[in-house]
Amino acid sequence: MSNELQSKLAQSLIDGDPDACFEYTKQALQSGMEPMAIIRDGLMPGMNVVGDKFSSGEYFLPDLIIAADGMQKAMELLEPELRARQQSVESAGTVVLGTVKGDIHEIGKSLVGTMLSANGFKVIDLGVDVPTESFVAKVKETGANILGLSALLTTTMTIQREIIEALVEAGVRNKVKVMVGGAPVTRSWADEIKADGYAEDAMGAVQVARQLVAN
């Protein structure tokens, strides 16, 4: 892949310009570049810079959302090409994700889903206000590596504990890593309910998910 296009692709994500990202991806494909190389050498380096800037406080949530949107636009072009070549982006793992029953907060959870997708995870987003039994059933059905539980209210936090207990009862707790997050959720709460991982923000969730899958 030409170095110029590589850096333009990465820069379009860093600059928060999804349309430019889409155009450069199209140009890269038209010039005969391999879809995997476009992802590996152009898109991922850009997303990594955005993640670093977000972690250091230079970028904020809207910057992250716009970059993830650019990545998704690019992937819409690249996925059919990958399928045509019978390649797939090597999946980092499968994540079942949702906001717990009684809680209808969407944005944080959706952003985590987008960032996980952008980093190679297959994400099954169950949405908001998800009953405990739906989480358990979906984990059983998909054989997911990770279950991500979001709770944004102190009143719904306790549902995270209920879901972990339900996984134990269903005999699948040892098959899936549970990651919890949300405004009132802390590391000590995650330890108390015996969750496997806790993340403060979307970039943190990606790092935690990678560690959980690797272990």
Domains and their CATH numbers in the chain: 3-84 (1.10.1240.10), 93-214 (3.40.50.280)
Q: Is 94 helix (H, G, I), strand (E, B) or coil?
A: strand
What radius of gyration do the chain's Cα atoms show?
18
Which range has the worst mean pLDDT, 23-27, 75-79, 168-172? Answer: 75-79
Predicted pLDDT at 86: 73
Predicted pLDDT at 60: 87
Predicted pLDDT at 13: 95
Residues 6+ apart with CB under 8 A from 43: 9, 10, 13, 21, 25, 71, 74
pTM for the whole structure: 0.71
Q: Which residue has the higher pLDDT, 203 or 179?
A: 179
Residues 6+ apart with CB under 8 A from 11: 46
